Structure formats: structure tokens, C-alpha cells
């Protein structure tokens, strides 16, 4: 293969990588819906749709962080936006994050840096008796039992637990519970590799908060536990973000 062909291939690869780091078309605008606190965010085959989403949630999706690991002005969790973005071709879900980061810079003039801060966290660990869950195989069928169904690695499960622990005791059992209490980071310290597919059988009990219920379920059903610790963890700090995004 001559140098001209090699150069052509390298240029094509560079252009392809560049095209996949940005959405081909994107609409970003402040939300006009009067439904504070109710928002949605979804991705599918290179398409991203967010409705009434606070900028804090958009940032957390872009950097794959829980909200508690993002520091910035209070309005980040108050101002809501609608986003409709499309890639030039179908892409893997993992490719959406860098594209969303580019969108934040282009439309919100987003700037940030990272800091390491000491804070209280929950560490997800394996119980002394050992884990009761095992990695899934490609041929294994999905778990369809009732309860809280989880599919993914332990890092994602730790992020899921951070949200679950922040759900306060419901005053009205007939209303769906929503996260809203103080959120602490949950870090994966299990050492368990691979992807998992399991269901946790959880039922509300009078007088018991989400943390107590989940910790009992972790121990009895999954062979896991959580420990309260103080650790130095990396925080994303928002230096600049525009409240009004650049026009479409």
C-alpha cells in the first residue's frame, strides 16, 4: 500500500471520527412546559430526546456522573430545556456522551474543570458470605421477574443505588415515589467484573426509609452491602454555562 492510499485512509478515519463527535442536527431551547420536576431523557440509535430536562441532568448524562458529583450554580437544577438531536447515522449508545458534550459547548458555551474533594460516600461492597449474583452470558435470557429489574455492570448499579437511597418515605403510598432527598455518591468497591441481570424484590414497609429497605435487600438477596466512608473523589465543577442556549 503506497503512501497516498495510507494518507487517504487516515483522512477518512479522521473525518469519520469527527462526524461522530457531533450531532448532525440539533434543536435546543428553553422548555415552555409548566411541569417543574417532571422531565424525560432518552437515546436510541444516535437520536437523543430530552423534555423539560434541567441542565444539571443533561450534564450528568454527558459525563456519565451522578448529580451529586457535579458542582455549579443552583439554577443548573432549575432551568429546564428541550433537546432533539440526531446523529448522521446510527451509533452505539456509548457514542452519545461525547456528542452531548460537544453540544453543551456549542449551545451553552459550557466550560468546566475537575477537582478532588473529600466527602462522605457509600461504598458498595461484597458481603462476607460472598455474592449471590453472577455475570450474565450472551446466551442467557433476560430476567423478567417482578420487582426492581437491573441490567448492567456494578458501576451502573452503584449509580442506581445513589438515586434509590435519596427517595424519602412516601406520605401517600398511592403516589409514586420520587428521588428528592440528599444524595450521596455510591462507589463500586465490589471488585465484581462483567454485566449482571437480576431482580430485587422490594416492598415498602411503614416507617422504613429507602436506604434501610435497600440495604436489607442487598444483604439477603444479592450478597452485597454498603459501608459509609469518607474518601477523596473527583468532582466536575461548572465554570461557565449560558442560561439561554445559542439559537438552532
Give the pLDDT confidence of 3-22 residue by residue, as tens digits: 445 444 444 444 444 445 78
Cα-based torsion angle of the residue sequence 94, 100, 105, 109 in order, rounded to the nearest 10 degrees:
-140
Cα-based torsion angle of the residue sequence 178, 211, 151, 114 in order, rounded to the nearest 10 degrees:
80
pLDDT tens string 41-64: 888 888 899 999 999 999 999 998
Cell digits for 53? 430536562
Q: pLDDT confidence of 146, banded at 50, 70, 90?
A: low
Residue 203: other Cβ atoms inside 10 A: 7
149 or 34, greater pLDDT: 149
d(CA 225, CA 126): 6
Mean pLDDT across the stretch 136-154?
A: 73
Angle subtended at Cα 156 by Cα 19 and Cα 25, rounded to the nearest 5 degrees: 25
Mean pLDDT across the stretch 155-178?
A: 71
As a whole number, the mean pLDDT across the chain is 83
End-to-end CA distance of the chain: 44
Residue partners of 169: CB distance under 8 A and separation at least 6: 207, 208, 209, 210
pLDDT tens string 104-125: 999 999 999 999 999 899 999 9
At 214 the pLDDT is: 94
Mean pLDDT across the stretch 113-141?
A: 88
The residue among 108, 110, 45 whose CA lies nearest residue 81 is: 108
Angle subtended at Cα 182 by Cα 178 and Cα 183, rounded to the nearest 5 degrees: 85
CB burial of 39-67 (b: ≥16 within 10 Å; e: otherwise) equals beeebeebebbbbbbbbbbbbbbbbebbb
At 145 the pLDDT is: 57
Amino acid at each position: 500500500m503506497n503512501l497516498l492510499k495510507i494518507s487517504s485512509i487516515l483522512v477518512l478515519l479522521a473525518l469519520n471520527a469527527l462526524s461522530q463527535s457531533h450531532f448532525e442536527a440539533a434543536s435546543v431551547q428553553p422548555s415552555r412546559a409548566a411541569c417543574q420536576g417532571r422531565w424525560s431523557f432518552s437515546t436510541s440509535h444516535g437520536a437523543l430526546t430530552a423534555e423539560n430536562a434541567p441542565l444539571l441532568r443533561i450534564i450528568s448524562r454527558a459525563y456519565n456522573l451522578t448529580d451529586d458529583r457535579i458542582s455549579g450554580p443552583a439554577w443548573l437544577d432549575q432551568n429546564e430545556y428541550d433537546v432533539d438531536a440526531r446523529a448522521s447515522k446510527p451509533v452505539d449508545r456509548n457514542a452519545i456522551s461525547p456528542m452531548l458534550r460537544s453540544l453543551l459547548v456549542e449551545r451553552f458555551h459550557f466550560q468546566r474543570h475537575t477537582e478532588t474533594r473529600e466527602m462522605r460516600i457509600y461504598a458498595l461492597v461484597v458481603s462476607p458470605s460472598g455474592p449471590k449474583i453472577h455475570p450474565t452470558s450472551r446466551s442467557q435470557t433476560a430476567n423478567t421477574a417482578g420487582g426492581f429489574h437491573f441490567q448492567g455492570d456494578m458501576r451502573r448499579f452503584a449509580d442506581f443505588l445513589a438515586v434509590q437511597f435519596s427517595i424519602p418515605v412516601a406520605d401517600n403510598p398511592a403516589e409514586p415515589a420520587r428521588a428528592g432527598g440528599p444524595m450521596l455518591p455510591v462507589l463500586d468497591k465490589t471488585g465484581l467484573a462483567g454485566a449482571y441481570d437480576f431482580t430485587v424484590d422490594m416492598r415498602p414497609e411503614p416507617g422504613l426509609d429507602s436506604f434501610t429497605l435497600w440495604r436489607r435487600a442487598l444483604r439477603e438477596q444479592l450478597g452485597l452491602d454498603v459501608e459509609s466512608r469518607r474518601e477523596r473523589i473527583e468532582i466536575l465543577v461548572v465554570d461557565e454555562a449560558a442560561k439561554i442556549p445559542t439559537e438552532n
